[in-house]
Structure 1
C-alpha cells in the first residue's frame, strides 16, 4: 500500500493457493454483450443518510423515521408517484424494539402515502440491504412488479447488534451443532480470515489508515454528495477521523492475542438507505435515466468455521453468472467488515488493495448493518459514471457464514 509505509508481506499465501483450498472458486470466461429486455431490472437512483456514530447525531431518531426520510427523498428526487410503487423490500438485522414488526412497512405507512404497496423486511445479516436489492430486482425480472424500492435501516444505538438474541447465539444452537464456530463470533471470524490469508497486524493497520485516508479525500472532493440526504444537521459521515500508522499500531486488539483493533473493524453506526428499481421498459416510459442494470446476483453460504469468507465464495459464481472476468471489473467494493476481509479477497483474486474500495469503506464511513448494502450499490453505480467505467462488483460478508455479491453494469 504505497504512501502508507506498508509493503506486501513476503511468504503470504497466493491467490492460486487459496483457490486450491476452497473448491468452486474458478476464473470465469467473458460472455456476450448484454441485451436489455423489457423486464431487465435497472437502478434509477439511490440516497442515504450520512452514517452516524453509535450514540451520535442520529441516535435520537427512530429507525422508522430514518427510513421514511430516505424513502421520501428518493420519491422526491426521482419524481415517482408513490402509487406507482408495487413493492418495497427492506433490510434490517436486529429486528427488535422500534426496529421490529416489519420496520419497512411502518416506515412506508409513516409517509402517509397510498398504503397499497406491499412491504417486506428481511434479515441476511450484513448483506440485508444488498439482498433487499436482489429481491426487489428479482420481482421486476419475474414480472411480478414494475417499480420497486430496495431499502435498509439500522439504528445500532437504539437496537444494539445481538439484542434480538438476549440469551446469546449459543442459545440458538442444538446440542449436536456440527460446526467449529470462531471464539468471539465476528471478531474471531476476522482472525480466522487473517490466519487463512496470512495477514499480520501491520498489514491490517495499514489498511485501516488507507480506508480513513481515502474516505477523507472522497468526502472533501464531494464524491458522496450525490447520494447523501442530510438529517439531524449531519451532512457527512460521522465516523471519519484522522488516522496514522503509529497511532493505530498502539491500539490494543479486541481479542487477546488477536490482530484486529477498533481502527481495523467496521464502525457501529446508525443510518438508512433507499434505491429505486424499475423495469427497463418502465424507465423508458417514464423517461428516467438509469444508473446501471443488475447483471448478476448471488447469495451463497461459506464455510462456517471461517464465518467471514463470504466474498471469497460469492465472487466467482457471481462473475460466472454475469459472464465476465475478474480483470473486466472497473470498480470493486468489498465491505470492510474487518480489514482482513478485503485483504483476503485481494489475495484470492489477484487484485491490489489499491484497486478496491477507492473511496474508503465501513472502517471509516460506518456500517449500519441493514443500510450498508444500499450504500455500496449506489456508490458503485455512481463511481462507474464518474470514472467512465463499465462493470462493478459489490460483495459483502454476512453473519451466519454467507456472502452476497452483485455485478452492476453502467447505463
Structure 2
C-alpha cells in the first residue's frame, strides 16, 4: 500500500466572536489558506485532485458546498473539485483522514484537506431554525432528551467527580500554555496572517493572559444553575480556517517537497449521544490497537478542549502523561472554529512534534452526536 504524507500545514490566526475575522466570508477565508499552501510549496493548483473541506453549519455563507466556493474564490482552475465534509467538530480531522485514505488507496495523488467555520456569521445552533435535527425516531429512542453538549459536559464532570476548581485550573493551564507558545513563536511557521480593512491580523485573539481559578470564579454556570461548566472552562466561539497538503512520498520527491509527517493510523468511534463527549476515549483505544502502539509510545497528544471535562476524562481513562497533553494550549484559550478545528489541531500537533522530536503524535476530538476521530501521525522531518 502507498503511504500518505503531510508536506505542509497552515492556518489563519483564530478570531474571536465579532473579532478581526468577523467580516470575512467563509469562502474567502478558505481561499486564503489554499493560496498560502500554493505560495509556500510552489505546487500548481491545477494538479490538485480534490479539496476536502470540513464545515459544520452548512447554511447561509457556508452553504452550497463551501469547498467548491473556496476553490473558485482562490482563483484556482475550474476543473479542481471540492467536497464539504461534516462530522460535527471533527469535520476537518475527517477531511485529513479521508484525504490520506484516498492517497493511500491510489485514487488521488495530491489532496488539500482542511476546513473553515465563521461562527460569528453563522451562529452556533443556527441549523435548528430550519428544521428538526435528529428526527422523531432518534428523539423517541432517547426519551425525548434534548441533545446538548453543555449538559453532556456537566454529566462527564459529575461522572468523573471533577470539581469546578479542577476544571478552572485546567482552563488556566490552557491559557498559560497558549501564551507561552505564542511568546516562543511556536505557531509562527504555520500561521498565515490575514489582512482585513488594512489591518494585518497575526495572533489568536481569544487568549486571556492571567486566567486563573480566582478570575474564573466570577463566572456564572452556563447550563445548570448549580453546574460547573461556564464560558471560561469551555471552548470559545471563533472564526478560522486551516489547510494541509497531503500526497505520497514519491510524489513529494517529484515535486521537490520534504514530507513533515506520515499518516500512520486513523479510527473513528461512537459513544453515548447524551453524554456525547466521551467518544475520544474509545477512539483512542481503537487507533492505538490499529497502530499496534501503546499510550506510552505517543510523544504528544492533542485532545480538543470543547469543555474542560473532555480532556480530563480522556486523561483519567487512558493513563497518558499529563505533560504531553495539549502542551500548546487549546480551544479554551484560543477558540474552536468548528469545521476548522481538526486541521488546526493537526498544525499544533505537527509544531510540537517537530519542536520536541517526538516520533508519534495522536489527535482526537469529541463530536456532536457522540462520535470521535482519532489519528496518529509519525514525524519524518
With normalisation by structure 1, the TM-score equals: 0.88
SS at match of 1:370: helix
Deviation (angstroms), 1:261: 1.1
1:241 matches 2:190: no
1:250 matches 2:205: no
Tell whether the 8 Å contact from 1:182 to 1:306 is kept in structure 2 after alignment.
Answer: no
Q: Aligned equivalents of 1:117 and 1:302: distance in 2?
A: 36
- 1:175/1:78 CA distance change after superposition, 3 Å: closer
Q: Which runs of 4+ in 1 moved over 2 A?
A: 167-177, 179-184, 351-355
Equivalent pairs, count: 374
- 1:149/1:171 CA distance change after superposition, 3 Å: closer
Q: Aligned equivalents of 2:76 and 2:21: distance in 1?
A: 24
Aligned pairs for 1:316-395 (under 5 A) are: 316-395=285-364
Aligned pairs for 1:201-350 (under 5 A) are: 201-231=164-194, 232=196, 233-242=200-209, 243-255=211-223, 256-350=225-319
Q: Aligned equivalents of 1:71 and 1:175: distance in 2?
A: 38
- 1:175/1:393 CA distance change after superposition, 3 Å: closer
Q: Aligned equivalents of 1:202 and 1:181: distance in 2?
A: 32
Deviation (angstroms), 1:279: 1.3
Aligned pairs for 1:1-400 (under 5 A) are: 39-166=2-129, 172-174=135-137, 177-179=140-142, 185-231=148-194, 232=196, 233-242=200-209, 243-255=211-223, 256-400=225-369
SS at match of 1:121: strand
Q: Aligned equivalents of 1:210 and 1:182: distance in 2?
A: 33
Q: Aligned equivalents of 1:308 and 1:402: distance in 2?
A: 8
- Deviation string 1:76-131 (CA, Å, 9 cap, x unpaired) is 10111111101110000000011100001001011222121221001100000100
Deviation (angstroms), 1:154: 0.2
Deviation (angstroms), 1:202: 0.8
Unaligned segments of structure 2, at least 5 residues? none
Q: Aligned equivalents of 1:111 and 1:126: distance in 2?
A: 25
- Deviation string 1:213-235 (CA, Å, 9 cap, x unpaired) is 11011001111111111113210
Unaligned segments of structure 1, at least 5 residues? 1-36
Deviation (angstroms), 1:382: 2.3
Residue equivalent to 1:20? none
Tell whether the 8 Å contact from 2:168 to 2:212 is kept in structure 1 after alignment.
Answer: no
With normalisation by structure 2, the TM-score equals: 0.95
Deviation (angstroms), 1:174: 2.8
- Deviation string 1:268-290 (CA, Å, 9 cap, x unpaired) is 00000010000121012222111
Tell whether the 8 Å contact from 1:182 to 1:189 is kept in structure 2 after alignment.
Answer: no
Tell whether the 8 Å contact from 2:328 to 2:348 is kept in structure 1 after alignment.
Answer: no
Q: Aligned equivalents of 1:352 and 1:178: distance in 2?
A: 38
- Deviation string 1:230-267 (CA, Å, 9 cap, x unpaired) is 11321000001120221112211112221011110000
Q: Aligned equivalents of 1:240 and 1:175: distance in 2?
A: 38
RMSD value, Cα: 1.5
Q: Aligned equivalents of 1:63 and 1:52: distance in 2?
A: 13
Deviation (angstroms), 1:355: 2.6
Q: Aligned equivalents of 1:303 and 1:153: distance in 2?
A: 27
Deviation (angstroms), 1:184: 6.6
Deviation (angstroms), 1:351: 2.4
